[in-house]
């Protein structure tokens, strides 16, 4: 039996990117019951792609009868397109399979357990350069930090964070807000600030402008890369791809994208939306293979699930196995 619900997680502080400000994470939670066990998955519908929670619930709910007749993860890939609805369902199926077999998802994938702690970035959101520098100083204990920028004054934004964090590895995310002219103009600044990687400077669909462009830092496709089938058109434009389960439509497709990206010579970053640890737990199984990891979504929340991921000693600690994919569901474990 399939059940679907909306959950809203207030943020401790507003999260600003080039497309706007978020004060809560509104997600869809899928729960699949087989009579004895329950699998759960969480996904964030993306307004950038015309998705919302109500639409994702309706899209996923249309398959309720199919789950009653044994719809599996491979069949799900054929029935729904990439997106939040498929992500919630796919992750719920992984969680359910883990419990049925009494094995963690890591074991099902042939990966060693327990899950490792990860050197994830934390994000400095868009603000005045002075406030961004102040936010960056609170992250001085980390080795890697991500800077959100827009087109208003990215040079000042980047320099402010670099001045506050003279030794950290920095990546920059423009969220499609730049033009090709601005990208050209920013090359000296990116070099001066020793930026490791730049995410999605141009709007998706304008990638052809990057053909022949020699960037001083690696460019990473985010909004331009959803699934493995997107990779051929990214060659010669990007050197890295950002894998997010809300874009791929679940862990199954994310693992396919991971394998294809590595086979085709792309570097890999794993990202997330602002979400709870229920959504982050599946991404761990991709992130453990990535060069850059951006799974700080739950750290923005005012209240996460018990047993959720936390930052300790500069490393992101994995969620408790009882939350998702650990091969068991403890009595009284957190539910969304």
User: Tokens at residue 305, please?
Assistant: 């699930």
Q: In sequence order, which residues have a C-beta less than 8 Å from that of residue 328 and are 6 or more positions away?
A: 99, 102, 321, 322
Q: Are 282 and 245 in contact (CB under 8 A)?
A: yes
Tallying the residues shown for the chain, one arrives at 336
Q: Tell me the sheet residues that pair with 33.
A: 38
210/68 Cα distance (integer angstroms): 47
326/17 Cα distance (integer angstroms): 33
Around Cβ 296, how many Cβ atoms within 10 Å? 21
Angle at 175 between CA 198 and CA 183, to 5 degrees: 50
Among residues 40, 73, 148, 237, the one annotated as catalytic is: 148
Q: In sequence order, which residues have a C-beta less than 8 Å from that of residue 138 and are 6 or more positions away?
A: none
208/292 Cα distance (integer angstroms): 25
Secondary structure (DSSP) of 98-128 = HHHHT--HHHHTT--SSPPPB---EEE-S--
State yes or no: is 146 an active-site residue. Answer: no
Among residues 86, 244, 247, 329, the one annotated as catalytic is: 244
281/98 Cα distance (integer angstroms): 13
User: Tokens at residue 35, please?
Assistant: 């009579």
Alpha helices, H only, the chain: 53-61, 64-68, 73-79, 84-101, 105-108, 129-137, 154-164, 180-185, 187-192, 245-248, 251-263, 277-287
Chain centre distance of CA 64:
26
State yes or no: is 148 an active-site residue. Answer: yes
Active site residues: 148, 244
């Amino acid at each position: 039996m399939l059940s679907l619900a909306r959950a809203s997680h207030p943020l401790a502080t507003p999260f600003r990117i080039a497309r706007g400000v978020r004060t809560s994470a509104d997600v869809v939670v899928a729960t699949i019951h087989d009579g004895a066990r329950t699998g759960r998955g969480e996904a964030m519908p993306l307004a950038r792609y015309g998705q919302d929670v109500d639409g994702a619930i309706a899209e996923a709910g249309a398959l309720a009868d199919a789950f009653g007749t044994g719809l599996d993860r491979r069949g799900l890939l054929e029935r729904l397109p990439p997106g939040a609805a498929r992500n919630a369902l796919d992750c719920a199926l992984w969680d359910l399979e883990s419990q049925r077999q009494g094995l963690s998802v890591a074991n099902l994938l042939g990966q060693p357990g327990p899950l490792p702690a990860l050197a994830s970035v934390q994000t400095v959101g868009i603000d005045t350069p002075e406030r961004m520098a102040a936010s960056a100083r609170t992250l001085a204990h980390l080795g890697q930090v991500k800077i959100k920028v827009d087109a208003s004054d990215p040079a000042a934004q980047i320099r402010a964070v670099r001045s506050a964090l003279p030794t950290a590895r920095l990546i920059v995310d423009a969220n499609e807000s730049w033009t090709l002219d601005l990208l050209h103009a920013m090359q000296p600044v990116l070099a001066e600030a020793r930026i490791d990687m730049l995410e999605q400077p141009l709007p998706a669909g304008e990638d052809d402008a990057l053909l022949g462009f020699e960037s001083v830092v690696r460019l990473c496709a985010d909004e331009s890369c959803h699934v493995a089938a997107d990779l051929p058109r990214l060659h010669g434009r990007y050197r890295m791809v950002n894998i997010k389960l809300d874009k791929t439509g679940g862990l199954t497709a994310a693992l396919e994208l991971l394998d294809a990206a590595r086979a085709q010579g792309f570097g890999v970053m794993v990202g997330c939306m602002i979400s709870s640890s229920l959504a982050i737990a599946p991404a761990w199984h991709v992130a453990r293979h990535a060069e850059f990891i951006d799974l700080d979504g739950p750290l923005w929340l005012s209240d996460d699930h018990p047993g959720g991921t936390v930052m300790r000693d500069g490393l992101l600690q994995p969620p408790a196995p009882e939350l998702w994919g650990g091969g068991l569901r403890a009595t009284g474990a957190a539910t969304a």
